[in-house]
Amino acid sequence: MTILALETSCDDTCAAVVSGAGEILANVVSSQGVHDRFGGVVPEIASRHHLELVNAVVDDALARAGTELGAVEAVAVTQGPGLVGALLVGVATAKGLAAAQRLPLVPVDHLQGHVAANFLAPAPMEPPFLCLIASGGHTLLVRVRDHRGFEVIGRTLDDAAGEAFDKGARLFGLGYPGGPALSRLALDGDASAFAFPTATRVPGLDFSFAGLKTALLYKVRELGEQETARRAPDLAASYEHAIVEALIARVERALAAEDGPRLAIGGGVAANRRLRARAEGLGVEVHVPPPELCTDNAAMIASAARWLEPVPFPDYLGLDAYATRPRRPAA
Ligand code: KG4
Ligand code: ZN
């Protein structure tokens, strides 16, 4: 089965073509690059750009896959969570494409997509495993029992890990998204130069990044403008270290309670060099998708769709996007 997938939950306009076996035939991501000057994503601007880009991105994905809409067997799309205006562009486009060919439509949860990045060829990880999902909007530790869903066992009590990267980056005057920029700045720094809190006193598997962000703010104020600029690589490396250690501390706790501990990671923060290295060094079986499958993309949405119930034509025409994940009863 050939699946065409669309992902427009935030500021990247994405389309991909994936085979039923999980081979990526095309994976196109158009980053809008217009939110930088605002220090974050402006929802209205994101929606408008999706509208301008989406058809070209879909055409590009089909062309790169060497196929055409007539050969596609299902259309998948991110239904939520995310920016509703942005999601609606993807959902409306997917409905149109699917309806034109009388194809089934598969609505996909964005976070399930991040998990399903681990199911893609050439070396998929098969459930069961634990998965750390760390992105700009979410930080979750989940148990993956099958290909269709997950159970949340830990979540952030305040900011997401990606948000902590982005807010920290802003204090250094770096652009959006801040994670990659802060990580680059940290390359020349000493991660042990400053001791930032990792909230490991928060018991259990929940995360907290608000104290860390405040600690950086106070340190920057204490050092003053000139000294902050001089020590920026050390500050960035220490801050990045604290975020990664906070994530890894919960992962280790969760793995310790497992019978056959196996770990996968996903979400934009899983593209982080330091986190990837730490995860790979945990001494258990670990699956780390390539960085371009960690940050938002449509191949992961197509991957998730392979195991979900397709909605037949025309039942999906009334399908709506959702901004936040509906709470499902525990399985
Ligand atoms: O999954 P994602 O692309 O979009 C959301 O679903 O939110 O994650 C975006 C987040 C941003 O906060 C970005 O700063 C962060 O992932 N990120 C990184 C890196 N690449 C992206 N954070 C740290 N290091 C990176 N290399
Ligand atoms: Zn994401």
- For the chain, domains (ranges, CATH) are 3-120+293-318 (3.30.420.40), 129-288 (3.30.420.40)
Overall average pLDDT of the 96-122 stretch:
98
Specify the pTM. Answer: 0.97
Overall average pLDDT of the 62-71 stretch:
98
Report which protein residue has its CA nearest ligand 1's atom 13: 179
Overall average pLDDT of the 1-11 stretch:
97
Ligand 1 within 6 A of 271 CB? yes
Residue 329 pLDDT grade (very low, low, confident, very high; cuts 50, 70, 90): low
Residue 328 pLDDT grade (very low, low, confident, very high; cuts 50, 70, 90): low
Residue with tokens 């879909």: 58
- Does the structure show a pLDDT above 60 at 330? no
Contacts of 316 by beta carbon, 8 Å cutoff, 6+ apart: 95, 98, 104, 105, 107
Cα 302 to middle of ligand 2, angstroms = 14
- The pLDDT assigned to 97 comes to 98
Residue 167 pLDDT grade (very low, low, confident, very high; cuts 50, 70, 90): very high
- The pLDDT assigned to 199 comes to 85
Residue 331 pLDDT grade (very low, low, confident, very high; cuts 50, 70, 90): very low
Cα 216 to middle of ligand 1, angstroms = 19
Residue with tokens 């509906």: 326
Overall average pLDDT of the 196-218 stretch:
94
Residue 203 pLDDT grade (very low, low, confident, very high; cuts 50, 70, 90): confident
Measured from the CA of 266, which atom of ligand 1 is nearest?
Answer: 1
Does the N-terminal peptide bond of residue 122 adopt cis geometry, omega within 30 degrees of 0? yes
Overall average pLDDT of the 191-217 stretch:
94
Ligand 1 within 6 A of 80 CB? no
| Distance between first and last Cα of the chain | 29
Ligand 1 within 6 A of 116 CB? no
Ligand 1 within 6 A of 162 CB? yes
Q: In Å, what is the CA distance from 205 to each residue of 140, 201, 222, 251?
A: 9, 11, 32, 8
Cα 136 to middle of ligand 2, angstroms = 7
Overall average pLDDT of the 40-55 stretch:
93
Ligand 1 within 6 A of 296 CB? yes
